[in-house]
Amino acid sequence: MPVALLALAISAFAIGTTEFVIMGLLPEVAADLGVSIPSAGLLISGYALGVVVGAPLLTVLGGRLPRKKMLLALMVLFIAGNLLAAVAETYGVLMSGRVVAALAHGAFFGVGSVVAADLVAPQRRASAIALMFTGLTVANVLGVPMGTALGQELGWRSTFWAVTVLGVIGLLGIVFLVPQQQAQERDLRGELAVFRNPQVWLALVMTALGFAGVFASFTYIAPMMTTVAGFSSGAVTWLLVLFGIGLFAGNLLGGKAADRSVMKSLMVILVALAAVLTAFVFTAHSQWAAAVTIVLFGAAGFATVPPLQMRVMQTAEGAPALASAANIAAFNLGNAGGAWLGGLAIERGLGYTAPNWIGALLAVAGLAVAAVSVGLERRRASERVPAGAGAVSSHE
């Protein structure tokens, strides 16, 4: 794999760390800024909203820039947002910094996915995308626990200073390692036209449902492990490390599987995700079984990422960067929706294992959409055969 992918992975590591580390610092932020913990929790929602808005918007606005320059501009915006958060003395300034950093998030992964895919041979594109997203998985294994520990020891602002430094390292990596790419003529109206293709929308819905299934359970994994499995609160950090190890392995395996067949691998992975979450309802009552299931959950959850990203790029060949950015927005919509549904189940008194049932049902719903997408594709291919085209779908 080209060394340029390392620069993209480092940048992804910084972005993933700043997105999730705030979850472990809510008490410190709330106490320091004089707000409630639920108000501090809105810093997570504000970030997600920034991703949803910024992903398509900045991709469109920067569409005429060469992709390397676009990545550099996005990293500068990311660094500025985290720098603003690091010096924030009020809740409003911190929220502004979070939103500014989030604006770069979706567009970076959207454009970065296209850059990563173009760096390698066609049969290795999913693996290249998976390698870039490895930075995001390593952020969950190392970045979030270390950032949380740093913030608890030296104050939450120190975490954002550290992420700012990581952003600068990622920026320099892009400067020196990512090759120049020629600016391409862009037809915005033509790119937006790809969203007339129902397959693009089916791909986005698959992403939202698949990741809603992951976050319905993952959001509440700490109370599930302490109240149901009986782990101490201190053990949760190590359980999250196990989850992160699963993410890392699943992401790479998902990329290799998607290189062979995007849709077949995606459907198998969604079945596995639904099965693991169903099993988690029962294994959550045993500490050793819960620990094993957490690894499998992380692997199945993030194995979906490369095929989901590749699918949307396949179905939107005329505008892969824009569609990829929209897919990152769909990931975040899934995150928010899954967390809300899981919390709703708990509020209704169904218990802390209920989010696992919700997640399994959402994964099955994603599988159903995938089946519809494949069926539609095969029907259109068969309709072209009598016309003498002899067509077969190029997207497995």
Chain segment 203-221, per-residue pLDDT in tens: 999 999 998 899 888 878 8
pLDDT tens digits, one per residue of 355-368: 899 999 999 999 99
CB atoms within 10 A of CB 103: 22
Residue 392 has pLDDT above 60, yes or no: no
Positive or negative: CA dihedral 350, 352, 354, 355: positive
The answer to whether residues 115 and 233 touch, using CB atoms and an 8 Å cutoff, is no
* Rounded Cα distance, 181 and 32, in Å: 45
* pLDDT the model gives residue 185: 56
* Rounded Cα distance, 322 and 320, in Å: 6
- CATH number belonging to domain 1-178: 1.20.1250.20
* Rounded Cα distance, 98 and 188, in Å: 29
* pLDDT the model gives residue 81: 96
Q: Mean of the pLDDT values across residues 212-237? A: 83
Q: Which residue reads 């972005």 in tokens? A: 15
* pLDDT the model gives residue 281: 95
* pLDDT the model gives residue 391: 46
The answer to whether residues 288 and 160 touch, using CB atoms and an 8 Å cutoff, is no
* pLDDT the model gives residue 337: 82
Structure tokens at 77: 């915006």
**194-382 to CATH, choices 2.40.50.140, 3.20.20.70, 2.30.30.100, 1.20.1250.20:** 1.20.1250.20
* pLDDT the model gives residue 393: 46
The segment with the largest mean pLDDT, out of 190-194, 209-213, 292-296, is 292-296
The answer to whether residues 203 and 317 touch, using CB atoms and an 8 Å cutoff, is no
Model-level pTM?
Answer: 0.74
Q: Closest Cα partner for 203 from 367, 370, 9?
A: 370
Domain regions of the chain by residue span = 1-178, 194-382
Q: Mean of the pLDDT values across residues 123-151? A: 80
The answer to whether residues 247 and 301 touch, using CB atoms and an 8 Å cutoff, is yes
Q: Mean of the pLDDT values across residues 295-310? A: 89
Name the DSSP letter for residue 139: I
As a whole number, the mean pLDDT across the chain is 85
The answer to whether residues 247 and 137 touch, using CB atoms and an 8 Å cutoff, is yes
pLDDT tens digits, one per residue of 38-91: 677 678 778 888 888 888 888 778 777 888 999 999 999 999 999 999 999 999
* pLDDT the model gives residue 394: 45
Q: Give Rg (Cα) of the chain.
A: 20
Residue 93 has pLDDT above 50, yes or no: yes
* Rounded Cα distance, 338 and 321, in Å: 26
* pLDDT the model gives residue 101: 94
* pLDDT the model gives residue 38: 62
Residue 190 has pLDDT above 70, yes or no: no
* pLDDT the model gives residue 370: 93
Q: Which residue reads 């929220």 in tokens? A: 95
Contacts of 167 (CB under 8 A, 6+ apart): 11, 14, 75, 78, 79, 82
Band (pLDDT 50/70/90 cuts) for residue 275 is very high
Higher pLDDT, 180 or 271: 271
* Rounded Cα distance, 70 and 272, in Å: 37
Same fold across 1-178 and 194-382: yes
The segment with the largest mean pLDDT, out of 16-20, 120-124, 158-162, 188-192, is 158-162
For the chain, how many residues are written? 396
* Rounded Cα distance, 341 and 239, in Å: 23
* pLDDT the model gives residue 181: 64
Residue 37 has pLDDT above 80, yes or no: no
Q: Closest Cα partner for 102 from 156, 39, 165, 58?
A: 58
